[in-house]
Every structure is written in C-alpha cells, then in structure tokens.
Amino acid sequence: MAVKQTIVEAQKLIRFSTEVLEKVGLSTDDAAVTANLLVNTDLRGIASHGVAHLGPLYVKGIKEGLINPKPDIKIYSGAPATAVMDGDRGLGFVVGNRGMQEAISRAKITGIGCVAVRNTTHFGACSAYSLLAVQNNMVGFASTT
C-alpha cells in the first residue's frame, strides 16, 4: 500500500507545533524555538528528526516527567571562550539552542566559543545548531553521545 503524503505550509506547521508545546508547559519562546528547529529539519529532508516526533517523543516525554518543560538552565564557566551548561532535563532543542547561542556570544568576543551541555534530552538533528553559527558568519560544530 502506498503512503499518502500531505503537504502542509511550513508556517502553519510551526504555529501548530508551537501551540502544542505551549499546551504541555513550554514558554512561548521555547516552544517557538523548538517548533522552528523541528520544521526546518523536515524542510532540509531529515524527516527522522523532525515534526514526526513531536507527539510520540517530546510531548509524551514531558507528560511522563522525563522532560522538564521549564528548565532552570545554568552556565558554569572558568574561561572567556568556554563553558559548561546544565540543562536541568530540559527539552534538547531549547538547551541545545541556548548552548549554541552561548558559544556564538563567546566566539564574537574571543574568536572561538565552546560549550559542553549536560543533563538534557534528545536535541534532534545536530546540523540545526551548526546552521545557527552559519547565520552569524561563523563555523559551527555540534555533536552528541
């Protein structure tokens, strides 16, 4: 049996995904960051890490208490170019985005920024975070275990 495909306008899918995430406790900003990363991953053809996981992985994880929808993210740093970020079991997209933004901020000052992130959950496709650096005219590298 052939799989029926449905084409959905990207902005509508972002709005829908944002609303779903808000209903399970994410702030509007965190929900929007997550929705944008999920939809943009799909638009780049990486369906294995896109919106298909919204309900079964992320919403379910929040409802089961495995993901903290309102993490208290902390940054520990001993040097201007580097930091360790504790994600407080937050949604990986939220923590990963903040980690890359922190690395970008440090790189703008020192020429390089490196942030190790711990205590978080699945953060989707690594390329999404590298592209955040590219948008700032930088080279970005993201990896996970």
For the stretch 5-39, pLDDT in tens is 888 899 999 999 999 999 999 999 999 999 999 99
Q: In sequence order, what are the residues at sequence separation of 6 or more whose Cβ sits closer than 8 angstroms to the Cβ of residue 89?
A: 66, 67, 68, 71, 119, 120, 121
Report how far residue 22's alpha carbon sits from residue 70's, in angstroms, rounded to the nearest whole number. Answer: 11
For residues 84-104, average pLDDT: 97
Q: Residue ranges per domain, the chain?
A: 10-134
144 has pLDDT over 80: yes
Residues 31-84 have pLDDT tens digits of 999 999 999 999 999 989 999 999 999 999 999 999 999 999 999 987 999 999
> What is the structure's pLDDT at 134?
96
Write down the pLDDT at residue 29. 98
CA angle 8, 14, 15 (to 5 degrees): 105
The confidence score (pLDDT) of residue 133 equals: 96
* SS3 call for 116: strand
The 10 Å Cβ neighbour count of residue 89 is 18
Mean pLDDT, the chain, integer: 95
Predicted local distance difference test score (pLDDT) of residue 2? 76
**In the prediction, which pLDDT does 75 show?**
96
- Which helix (H) or strand (E) segment holds residue 17: the answer is helix 10-23
DSSP string, 39-98: HHHHHTT-GGGSGGGIIIIIIHHHHTTSSBSS---EEEEEETTEEEEEEEEE-HHHHHHH
Q: How confident is residue 145, by pLDDT bands cut at 50, 70 and 90?
A: confident
CATH number for the domain whose boundaries are 10-134: 1.10.1530.10
